Amino acid sequence: MASRSHRSPRRSSRPGRRTALVSAVAVAAVALVASLVMAFGSGRGAEGEEARKVTTTAAADAPARERPTPTGRTSSPSPSPSSSASTSASPSPSPTPTAKSPKPKVTSARRPGSGTATLAGRIRPRTTYQGIATLYDAGNGDGACSFGPSDDMMIAAMNTTDYETSRACGAYVLVRSGSASVTVRITNECPSPCKPGQLDLSTQAFAKLADPSRGQIPITWSLVSPGSPDTLSIRYKTGSSQYWCGIQALGHRNPLARLEVRTGSGWTALARTGYNYFLSEHGAGCGGAIRITDIYGEQLTLDGIALRPNTVQPTRVQFARH
């Protein structure tokens, strides 16, 4: 038997039958509207689900730079895809090992000295000093002058008086004892009880003059300007920055009289320390042009010296021989 809801409606003149018919039509209309709303809502839900999936996929594919770091700290932004797209034709170069810094250039002509050591301290050219030579184990050749290890062990420590707050550092002296002689470079300081005129020679250098078993011998010595040194180098001290720096010259043929840096007010001479660095306490001139002067008054001006702490940077220049 067919259900009542599927029977065809019959006309009736009785009010109760008409009322029931109207009610049935209203219920059917409401059901139809509800069905449409559910269908429409279902479609919207599908679209929302699809949008959610797209958003999730996009987030997964986003560059790592757009995601927060595990610690919550935001990393520095890298170039956006739109900006990098313009250069996509040429791939970015892969990182390469740090190359040696180029040799600094001389930006001013060499200024020759007077030929006389007017800027010399206690140790002066064409002067012979008397004293004694002792010997010590120089190890790898490093010493108070902060030059670092030395390949050439013909080196010596100068007594504190003649060391003169590192003014003797890098000086070459010819040492004589009887008929024997040896040229040594000053790389260290010999504190008390070393006396003025005394040199503390490396064992290797002492052996050129006498049997090391003697321990002490009388000597004479004098400053020389050798012909063998290569071009000089510059080094910034560890910890140097634009706010404070120490500068050192290495491999200079003649002793240094001063080291200056170029600042807004001109050339500024830096104070020399006992460990053979020239200090700019407030950073003035750090990373700029450097001018060094030897005891003969010759000046060499260097530019292009990068502010790279504890890096030996060779130049193309050297002081003249005297």
Q: What is the pLDDT of residues 14-27, one digit of tens each?
A: 444 344 433 444 44
Q: 3-state SS of 101-116?
A: CCCCEECCCCECCCCC
Lowest mean pLDDT among 96-110, 147-161, 212-226: 96-110
Confidence of residue 229 (pLDDT cuts 50, 70, 90): confident
Give the pLDDT mean for 120-139: 96
Q: What is the pLDDT of residues 162-221, one digit of tens each?
A: 999 999 999 999 999 999 999 999 999 999 999 999 999 999 999 999 999 999 999 999
Mean pLDDT computed over 134-143: 97
**Residues in the chain, overall count:** 322
pLDDT for 108: 45
- Mean per-residue pLDDT for 115-142? 93
Per-residue confidence (pLDDT) for residue 102, from 0 to 100: 55
Kindly state the average pLDDT of the residues 83-112. 46
Percentage of the chain lying above the pLDDT 70 cut: 65
Per-residue confidence (pLDDT) for residue 116, from 0 to 100: 75
Q: How far apart are CA 123 and CA 36, in angstroms?
A: 108
Return d(Cα 247, Cα 238) in angstroms, integer. Answer: 10
What's residue 156's pLDDT? 98
Whole-number CA gyration radius for the chain: 43
Mind listing the pLDDT tens digit for each residue in 25-76? 444 444 554 444 344 444 444 444 443 443 333 333 333 333 333 333 333 3
* Overall average pLDDT of the 7-12 stretch: 37
Query: Mean pLDDT of all residues in the chain?
Result: 77
State how far the alpha carbon of 217 is from the alpha carbons of 174, 178, 212, 274, in Å: 15, 10, 10, 28
Tell me what pLDDT residue 107 has: 53
Distance separating the N- and C-terminal Cα atoms of the chain:
133
> 163 versus 117: which is more confidently predicted?
163
Query: Which among 264, 305, 310 has a CA at the least distance from the CA of 287?
Result: 305
pLDDT at 95 over 70: no
Question: pLDDT value at position 104?
Answer: 57
